[in-house]
Structure 1
Amino acid sequence: MRNIIVLVAVLAVSEVHAGVPNISELSIGGIEIGATEARVRRSLGEPAGTFDTGEGLELYYPGLVVTVGWLESPGPDVPRRVTALAGTGFNACTPAGLCPGMPVAEVTRLYGPAEPVRRENGTFLEYQPKGANCWLQIRASADPIYEVAVACQP
């Protein structure tokens, strides 16, 4: 009887959280949203290239693009912070272990079912933690997964 109660409790919690990952999942390749540009460079080294988007700076690493910008008003003592991540390399994984190259079915296994969302640049499975202005984004039309990304709304 005790095992049944525990199983029911676990299933109830799973249902409540299906499709809503923990905010810690807004990280790819060990780099999390909101990290400073200095921390990214300490962790990953100097990027292979950069591109100024006008709103931020894209840092190009093998299999990972890290976008940094100002989350508040820019200033001399205000560091740029990670505002977006896009990983295509096999090491560009989320903390739960979702990586490019895995079958799309792995997304559902790790994060639960999600309705595909159509955007101007494709159709995605998206998972947004409660209270976050960022979400995990996986292209739904590619199998295996080509890219794991974190997108944010200012």
Structure 2
Amino acid sequence: MSSQRIHVNELEGVMQCTLVVLLAIAGALVVAQQENGPKKKPASGKPTGASPSLEQLTVERQNEALNVSFAQAFPEDTPEEFQPLVVELYVRCQAELDNCAELLWASHLLREYRKCALTQRRFCAQEIQELQAELEAMVEAGREELALSPAEEDILSVLSH
């Protein structure tokens, strides 16, 4: 039984690393999109070398807040089989924030952007909580399935000798 625990612990370590890599990739994609996408448009006719505008700083703060929310909600020990769900939710939430940013770039209405971003982040926070609850339920169901009865443990010990 102890060899199975070691094997499970090794798998958990691999899963932790994989989640970190996936979140890092998702974050890098967001940063790359911000650098190459329409969000880098200057708010005015300033040269691109000028310091970031209030609009740009506000968008960056909202994106960073989303990253922090995900990092807190889904720690490194999130099982590997759930990582695609986490990444999918992150991408969807980031896309909604990007839509708010597009509104800002088109209208320059900072107050409206803040309302839009706040609303989207609230929706995302609710979805994060729902996904966390689903993942916890799935983990608990998996633990119940993996629990061996004393008779099964005896059989395993006999077979391993």
TM-score range, shorter chain: under 0.3
Which has a greater percent of helix?
2
Instruction: Calculate the TM-score normalised by the size of structure 2.
Output: 0.25
Kindly indicate whether structure 1 or structure 2 has the higher relative contact order, using CA contacts under 8 Å at least 6 residues apart: 2
Please state which structure has a larger fraction of its residues in strand: 1
TM-score (norm 1): 0.26
> Which entry has the higher C-alpha Rg, 1 or 2?
2
